[in-house]
Amino acid sequence: MNANATDFPAMGAKNIDEAARIGQLARSGEQMVERLRRTSFLPEHKKSLNIRFGIADAAELLGCSTNRIRMAEQDGRLPIPPETETGRRVGYDIPALLNMRQVLGASPHRAPNDPPSIIAIQNFKGGVGKSMVTTHLAHYLAVAGYRVLVVDCDSQATTTTLFGFNPHVNITRDDTLYPYLSLEPTQDDLRYAVRQTPWPNVDLIPSNLEMFDVEYELAASGVNARGGTLVSRFRKLRAGLLSLAQDYDVVLLDPPPALGTISLAVMQAANALIVPLSATTPDFCSTVQFLSMMDQVIEQLTRAGIQVEYDFCRIICSKFNANDPSHAMVKQVMEQAFGPALFPVPILESAEISHAALRMMTIYELEKPVGTPKTHKRCRMNLDEAMLQVEQLIRRRWRQPSVKPTAAHLSAN
Ligand SMILES: Nc1ncnc2c1ncn2[C@@H]1O[C@H](COP(=O)(O)OP(=O)(O)OP(=O)(O)O)[C@@H](O)[C@H]1O
Ligand SMILES: [Mg+2]
């Protein structure tokens, strides 16, 4: 699948429009993305979920004893878990775990009157870890038994890719938010866009490059936030997500890294905000700009009659390298500037996260460590702790707000 040498004339060759190469590069890159995807998802070229948990891990996740699980298996309330030919238990997969939660009354679902959390993972700075936080939080919550909807609002479609879809091949514009938000909408109920993922309790509204047409169309409609089409689209997204959210415990929104119409729509559709940034001075400065821009935008939206209300608003350091003294210094600066709005536990920068990303996976999807078991365990423990901070805030408004740190520190078999 190497780019054919004849497709790429040597540098300096005459009559070659350098700009024309961009299309060739894009096509070559798209083919490579598909190849990576197919290699990662062998043998069926389709993403599947193969993680399994031992009985001790399952008991810890459910907050019960292993005996309780064994008894339910013996009296037929739960199926006997499959064994290998040598009689070894293969462990519980996610569907088995979800069934176990239901049968043993260990489901963390919100009560019907509890508000679902609709969280925007937002920062106008690019590459700060928005999609990494979105996907890891989705999978952490899924292991913990919640019903999660992930909405990829970014035409770069990183999150869509991490869920196993090739945005160039598997997704069309009509599968994205486009038909719902376009100037001439063809959809009035967001359910058309919801698709299943390899996780039984995580659904996805995917994205692809053509979703960007929403930005063009709404910008070209020549209206501002004070009225007209833009305000009506904002209201529409908010209403549509709120209606969808009734089927879930948590909705996660992954917006693009820019102050465009989609970002504004996401900002006002959410009822909670998480701002990721790495522990570097440029990220800190950009995030300060982001927050002050948000402040102004919220004021404008309020004047236009759109109320922005968040249950919580937190900043998370998403790539912290404890061995880098400059990271420690910037983290201190962040603590001073943001106080309790900064989550105390940062997400550590880890080769395990990059290795998993290379396989188009999150840490929660790895069947076994990619690096050393020690690196993997450290990374997983840190992510569990970091994500638990979010879980606790989500549950704060629910009738049963307490949460045991059950998901913490478990490693899939
Ligand atoms: N804690 C981490 N450890 C190692 N790598 C990380 C970590 N967090 C993020 N990354 C890597 O950093 C890169 C950027 O992350 P990500 O795509 O999540 O950022 P983003 O804010 O969504 O970017 P964009 O603005 O383009 O949407 C990715 O390659 C991701 O795998
Ligand atoms: Mg992203």
- Tens-place pLDDT, residues 166-194: 998 889 999 999 999 998 999 999 999 99
Q: How far apart are CA 114 and CA 271, in angstroms?
A: 13
Q: What is the pLDDT of residue 90?
A: 86
Q: How far is the CA of 10 from the centre of ligand 2 (A)?
A: 34
- Cβ count within 10 A of residue 44: 8
Ligand 1 mean position, distance from CA 319 (Å):
8
Question: Counting atoms of ligand 1 from 1, which one is nearest the CA of 133?
Answer: 18
pLDDT digits (tens, 9 = 90+) for 330-382: 999 999 999 999 999 999 999 999 999 999 999 999 999 999 999 999 999 99
Say which CATH architecture domain 117-395 belongs to: 3-Layer(aba) Sandwich (3.40)
- Ligand 1 nearest atom to the CA of residue 350, by list position: 3
pLDDT of residue 227: 57
pTM of the model: 0.91
Which range has the worst mean pLDDT, 7-11, 82-86, 226-230, 303-307? 7-11
Q: Pairing state of beta strands 195-196 and 202-205? A: antiparallel
Among the bound ligands, name the one nearest to the CA of residue 135. 1
Q: Among 33, 122, 131, 318, which residue has the most ligand 1 atoms within 8 Å of its CB, making it the best to mutate?
A: 131
Instruction: Round the average pLDDT of the chain to a whole number and report it.
Output: 89
- Does an H or E element contain 384, and which? helix 373-395
Q: What per-residue confidence (pLDDT) applies to 327?
A: 95
Q: What per-residue confidence (pLDDT) applies to 218?
A: 82
- pLDDT at position 229 is 80
Q: List, chain by chain if needed, residues with CB within 6 Å of any ligand 1 atom.
A: 126-132, 154, 156, 158, 257, 318-319, 347, 349-350, 353-354, 357
| Residues flanking ion ligand 2, Cβ below 5 Å | 130-131, 158
Work out the number of other CB atoms within 10 angstroms of the CB of residue 85.
5
Instruction: Give the percent of the chain with pLDDT over 90.
Output: 72
pLDDT value at position 88?
A: 82
Q: Has residue 412 got a pLDDT over 50?
A: no
**Amino acid sitting at position 6:** T
Q: Which ligand is nearest to the CA of 359?
A: 1
Atom of ligand 1 nearest to the CA of 254: 22
- Specify the ligand 1 atom closest to the Cα of 257: 25
Residues 6+ apart with CB under 8 A from 403: 108, 388, 391, 392, 395
CA of 274 to the centre of ligand 1 (A): 15
The pLDDT value given to residue 407:
47
Which residues, 6 or more positions from 410, have their beta carbon under 8 angstroms from its beta carbon?
53, 57, 60, 61, 143, 380, 384
Which pLDDT score is estimated for 221? Answer: 74
Neighbours of 372 (CB within 10 A): 11
> What percent of the chain lies above the pLDDT cut of 70?
92
**pLDDT at residue 20, rounded to an integer:** 78
Q: Residue 249: how many CB atoms within 10 A of its CB?
A: 23
- pLDDT at residue number 223: 54
Q: Whose Cα sits closest to atom 25 in ligand 1?
A: 126
pLDDT exceeds cutoff 50 at 1: no
Domain-by-domain residue ranges, the chain?
36-107, 117-395
User: Are 259 and 124 within 8 A, CB to CB?
Assistant: yes
State how far the Cα of 391 lies from the Cα of 139, in Å rounded to an integer.
12
User: What average pLDDT score do residues 64-93 get?
Assistant: 90
Mean pLDDT of 151-156: 96
Q: Which of 103, 364, 132, 351 is nearest to 257 (CA)?
A: 132
From the CA of 321, how far away is ligand 1's center (Å)? 14
**Pick among 3.90.1150.10, 3.40.50.2000, 1.10.1660.10, 1.10.10.10: CATH of 36-107:** 1.10.1660.10
Q: Which position has the higher pLDDT, 45 or 155?
A: 155
CA of 123, closest atom in ligand 1: 21
Residue minimizing CA distance to atom 14 of ligand 1: 127
In the prediction, which pLDDT does 11 show? 52
The yes-or-no verdict on residue 402 having pLDDT over 80 is: no
| CA neighbor of 273 nearest in space, from 251, 305, 245, 247 | 251
Ligand 1 pocket mutation pick from 132, 158, 266 by most atoms within 8 angstroms of CB: 132
Got the DSSP string for 316-357?
EEEEB-TT-HHHHHHHHHHHHHHGGGB-SSPPBP-HHHHHHH
